[in-house]
């Protein structure tokens, strides 16, 4: 957990920033505005998620609805652009959440100490909580996707799994095509 000295330093620097004459807002006002921004971010994340799921359909779902390959967009942005906006708003939410935790740190520590018994149980609960949070946050950076080759002639066509060594072989084959036979046929 963050040491008391480090927390006091962080909160002290935030207080210096927050109490400058040109800013002049109380901690309660900052909490209020941070909470408002967090709520707006959560609403935007949910709305954009629904937009991508139910309006800007992925390929085979769009094919099933429209009967042909179509490019869907809203406000000139396709589902990939909205996905990028979704990611940026989520990143902003994480930053606001970190600031929210810093501003509420003393309360979090007090509640943690009140509801968890002192000693090994609190230590194990703290370690488990931090490991679970760290795993959720960092795990996507260590995962390898399953790569499948799709037949692009029809939606929902069968996929076959492609092993990484097959991808490398395919890339090598495209990079150096074999010479055609003398009769010009393949």
| Top mean-pLDDT range of 22-36, 61-75, 79-93, 134-148 | 79-93
Query: Any idea which of 87-91, 142-146, 169-173 has the lowest mean pLDDT?
Result: 169-173
Exposure string over 68-93, b if 16+ CB within 10 A, otherwise e: eeeebeeeeeebeebeeebeebbebb
* Close Cβ partners of 78 (under 8 Å, ≥ 6 residues apart): 56, 71, 72
Q: What percent of the chain has pLDDT over 70?
A: 68
* 122 exposure class (CB count in 10 Å sphere: 0-12, 13-18, 19+): middle
pLDDT band at 118; cut points 50, 70, 90: confident
- Asked if 49 contacts 79 with a C-beta cutoff of 8 angstroms, the reply is no
- Tell me the mean pLDDT in the region 88-102: 94
The whole-angstrom separation of Cα 99 and Cα 31 is: 9
More confident residue, 26 or 129: 129
* Mean pLDDT computed over every residue of the chain: 79
Domain ranges (residues) in the chain: 1-103
Q: Minimal CA–CA distance to 159: which of 168, 171, 169, 146?
A: 146
More confident residue, 91 or 22: 91
Which residue is listed with tokens 């927050």? 18
> What tokens were used for 69?
């390959």
CA torsion 110→115→120→124, rounded to 10°? -90
CA torsion 164→166→171→174, rounded to 10°? -170
Predicted confidence (pLDDT) per residue in 11-70, tens digit: 666 666 656 666 577 888 888 999 999 999 999 999 999 999 999 888 888 888 888 888
Whether this prediction's pTM lies above 0.95 is answered by no
pLDDT of residue 20: 62
């Amino acid at each position: 957990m963050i040491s008391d000295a480090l927390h006091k330093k962080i909160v002290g620097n935030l207080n210096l920033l927050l109490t400058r004459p040109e800013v002049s807002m109380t901690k309660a006002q900052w909490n209020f505005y941070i909470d408002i921004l967090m709520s707006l971010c959560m609403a935007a994340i949910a709305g954009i998620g629904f937009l991508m799921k139910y309006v800007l359909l992925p390929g085979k779902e769009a094919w099933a609805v429209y009967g042909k390959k179509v490019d869907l967009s809203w406000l000139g942005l396709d589902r990939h652009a909205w996905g990028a906006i979704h990611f940026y708003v989520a990143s902003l939410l994480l930053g606001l959440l970190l600031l929210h935790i810093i501003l509420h740190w003393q309360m979090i520590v007090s509640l943690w100490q009140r509801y968890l018994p002192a000693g090994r149980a609190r230590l194990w609960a703290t370690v488990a909580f931090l490991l679970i949070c760290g795993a959720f946050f960092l795990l996507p950076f260590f995962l390898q996707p399953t790569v499948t080759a799709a037949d692009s002639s029809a939606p929902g066509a069968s996929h076959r799994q492609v092993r990484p060594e097959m991808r490398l072989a395919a890339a090598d084959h495209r990079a150096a095509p074999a010479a055609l036979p003398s009769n010009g046929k393949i």
